[in-house]
Every structure is written in structure tokens, then in C-alpha cells.
């Protein structure tokens, strides 16, 4: 589906009052996970790109179940928007010409895959609080299929 015009305009304008707050995924057997996540870009007015912020559980879930949901909250006017759809992750290590949702891995990664040159120094954290396994950074692609009016 094409994104609703009102949402599309706000995303493209990168309106500061609009946050992408949570990306919801689930294991195959129904254990949900919510990831607060910033927004990278919209492609072709229908795909939403999100940075993979070492989102281990999200990655585990998407590897076995592509159903996902993305919810937005506007701090300015209290608007909430929930989209349901499918998602996948483009990862460093994918073959350059590997395609997800019609996008080529090298195009996505070259443009968005090094989105944060000032990324937190993840390896410097104290071992007592550091996750033992780090996800490989990549880009999450969310393809919305339904706007859920009843969610709000």
C-alpha cells in the first residue's frame, strides 16, 4: 500500500514532532517484542526504512516471522498511527545484488547502512552490562499493508 498522504508528508518533512516510537515483532509462537526506533527514510512512498540499532530480539523475530507493526506518536497533537505489515533486514554481508522488497542490498546499505558515524562505542561498555552478542548493523525495511484505525 502507499502510505497515507498525511503520514507521508510528515515523514518526508521529518517533522520533529513526529516520532516513530515502536516497531513490534513477534516470534513464530507469539512472543511479542517492542523496539523504540528512529526513522531513516521512505522509499517509493511505500517502504519505511529503519536503522538496526543492534536490535537482537527484533532480528531473531524477523528471521523467523516477517509480520510486524509500526506505531507513531505525535508529541505535537497527540496523533497516534499504527501500521501493520511485513518487514525484513538488509544486513552487511548480504550479496550486493540481494533483493528485499525490490530494493537491492548494496543500494540500501551504501545509502543508509552507515547511518550513524558517531555510533555509541558499544564495545567500551562495562562487561557487566554489555550484551554478550551484538547484532550486525543493517537496515530494517518495513512494508506497510494496513493502517489500523481501531488501534487508537
Partner 1 sequence: MAHVTPRMKNWLTGLGAHIAVASKSGIPAVVVVDSATADDDNTIRFKLSEKQVALIRSQVTENPRVAFGPGGIGSIRAAYQFKGAGRLEDNILVVAVDEIYSTKPGPEAGLRLDVLPYEQVIQFETSRWLDNGPPK
Does the footprint of partner 1 cover residue 73 (CB under 8 A)? yes
Does the footprint of partner 1 cover residue 15 (CB under 8 A)? no
Q: Which listed residue (8, 46, 56, 147) binds partner 1 by CB under 8 A?
A: 56
Q: Provide, rounded to whole angstroms, the least separation between the CB of residue 147 and partner 1.
A: 12
Backbone angles phi and psi of 120, in degrees to 5: -55, 145
Does the footprint of partner 1 cover residue 31 (CB under 8 A)? yes
Window of 25-33, 40-48, 88-96, 98-106 that interacts with partner 1 by CB under 8 A:
25-33
Does the footprint of partner 1 cover residue 35 (CB under 8 A)? yes
Nearer to partner 1, 95 or 124 (CB): 124
Contact criterion met (CB below 8 Å) for 26 and 87: no
Does the footprint of partner 1 cover residue 6 (CB under 8 A)? no
Q: Which listed residue (63, 114, 130, 145) binds partner 1 by CB under 8 A?
A: 130
Amino acid at each position: 500500500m502507499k502510505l497515507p498522504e498525511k503520514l507521508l508528508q510528515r515523514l518526508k518533512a521529518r517533522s520533529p514532532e513526529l516520532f516513530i516510537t515502536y516497531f513490534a515483532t513477534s516470534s513464530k509462537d507469539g512472543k511479542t517484542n517492542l523496539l523504540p526506533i528512529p526513522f531513516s527514510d521512505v522509499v517509493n512512498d511505500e517502504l519505511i526504512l529503519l536503522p538496526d540499532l543492534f536490535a537482537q530480539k527484533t532480528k531473531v523475530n524477523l528471521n523467523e516471522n516477517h509480520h510486524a507493526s509500526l506505531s507513531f506518536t505525535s508529541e505535537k497533537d497527540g496523533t497516534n498511527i499504527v501500521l501493520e505489515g511485513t518487514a525484513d533486514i538488509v544486513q552487511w554481508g548480504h550479496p550486493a545484488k540481494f533483493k528485499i522488497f525490490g530494493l537491492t542490498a548494496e543500494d540500501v546499505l551504501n545509502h543508509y547502512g552507515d547511518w550513524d558515524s558517531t555510533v555509541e562505542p558499544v564495545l567500551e561498555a562495562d562487561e557487566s552490562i554489555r550484551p554478550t552478542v551484538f547484532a550486525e548493523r543493517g537496515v530494517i525495511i518495513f512494508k506497510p499493508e494496513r493502517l489500523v484505525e481501531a488501534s487508537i
